[in-house]
Amino acid sequence: MLLHRHRELCERAVDALEIAAGLEAYGITDRTAARFRHRDVFSLAEELYARTPRGEEPAQEPAAAPAAARAVVRRFGCALLPGALAFGAAAAGVPGAGVLGGLLAAAALVWPSRAAGGRFPWAVHLLAAAAAGWAAHRHGPALGAALALAVAPGYLAAALYAARARRRLAASRALDEFAAGARPLLAGALLLSTAAATGVAALAGAAPETAVPLAVLLFLARLLLGHGAHRAPVALALALALVPVPATAYAAAAGLLVHAFRALSRASAHARP
């Protein structure tokens, strides 16, 4: 029985849409819901939510909000470190400062997957390090510094996007409604990240036509990893960026953007872990 199979999901859900997001993550579609005499997944989720027995809600920990705020500040502080270290190394003329900056920018992809409770996609991180480090080696320390400096504004854009998407999820009453509202949020986060990448490229003295597509590529990779998306398209895009042709970085970022619009429009990407 469906309720028995997904009992844990149904018991911890705070509303029907969260169950719908979980069912979507398990591959249950509107066609599957029709077999249970429901018009769509959300209608099926509403019945499961109504049929699930619940005890009293646990009391909310008073210190939870301050602890969450401290975590956000701590993570933003960590996001500032790559740019500070890379910019300082480039300004001091440290040998290999460009490659160091690229590696620091790629290293920033590690912690979102940890925060999301997911597995460690080391192959993706190694490809990101290779792509950023190789590009910085070819184009000089200014590019490495620009990529590292773009980590902090990218973190802010990603955090803002995640918060707004969760609010949209809570306010939506159907999966299609959420998907329609989530796409403009992603577009806004991308515009914010691209504008920030253009600004830090100018600050670091890097060519924007080289720095911006790579920064956007790393931003999208971080966003997708943080939301538990499939790793294969991310790895493929990063591998494409290794090709020493300027157009490949644009192609890799564009391809990953298409995947991001599809993956992050799913409610399951924003449900509670």
Secondary element (H or E) of residue 59 = none
Mean pLDDT across 146-161: 93
Higher pLDDT, 146 or 10: 146
CA distances from 53 to 12, 16, 60, 170, 180 (A): 11, 13, 20, 21, 32
Assess whether pLDDT exceeds 90 at residue 157: yes
Regarding whether 139 and 38 lie in a shared domain, the answer is no
Which pLDDT score, from 0 to 100, does residue 13 have? Answer: 75
Same domain, yes or no, for 248 and 168? yes
For the segment 31-43, what is each residue's pLDDT rounded down to a tens digit? Answer: 777 777 777 787 7
> 28 in a domain, yes or no?
yes
Alpha helices, DSSP H only, in the chain?
2-5, 7-12, 16-25, 30-35, 41-51, 64-91, 97-107, 110-115, 122-139, 141-149, 151-171, 175-204, 208-226, 231-241, 246-263
Q: Are residues 135 and 232 in the same domain?
A: yes
- What confidence category does residue 108 fall into, taking pLDDT thresholds of 50, 70 and 90? confident
The whole-number average pLDDT for the span 94-123 is 73
Instruction: Please tell me whether residues 42 and 108 are part of one structural domain.
Output: no
Instruction: Name the least confident of 16-30, 88-102, 160-174, 230-244.
Output: 16-30
Residue 148, pLDDT above cutoff 80: yes
Q: Is 82 in the same domain as 12? A: no
Residues 193 and 137 in one domain: yes
Query: Can you tell me the mean pLDDT for 167-178?
Result: 75
Residue 61 lies in a domain: no
pLDDT at 118: 44
In a domain, 18, yes or no: yes
With respect to residue 20, please indicate whether it lies within any of the assigned structural domains.
yes
Q: What is the pLDDT of residue 60?
A: 47
| Residue 169 within a domain | yes
* 115 pLDDT above the threshold of 50: no
At 59, the pLDDT band (50, 70, 90 cuts) reads very low
State whether 173 and 245 are in the same domain: yes
Please indicate, yes or no, whether residues 29 and 147 belong to a single structural domain of this protein. no
Does residue 245 share a domain with residue 114? Answer: yes
pLDDT for 15 beyond 80? no
Residue 21, pLDDT score: 80
pTM: 0.77
Same domain for 100 and 19? no
Structural domain contains residue 60: no
- Convert the pLDDT of each residue in 214-263 to its tens digit: 999 999 999 998 887 888 899 999 999 999 888 999 999 999 999 999 98
Residue 133 banded pLDDT, cuts 50, 70, 90? very high
Query: Does residue 105 register a pLDDT over 80?
Result: yes
The amino acid that residue 47 corresponds to is E
pLDDT at 273: 53
Tell me, yes or no, whether 42 and 83 share the same domain. no
- Residue 239 sits in which domain range? 75-269
229 shares a domain with 102:
yes
Q: Looking at residue 58, what is its pLDDT?
A: 44
With beta carbons less than 8 A apart as the criterion, state whether 227 and 269 touch: yes
Please report, for residues 75, 89, 109, 158, the alpha-carbon distance to residue 152 in angstroms, rounded to integers and kept in the order given.
9, 17, 12, 10
Number of separate domains in the chain: 2
Question: Would you say residue 142 lies in a domain?
Answer: yes
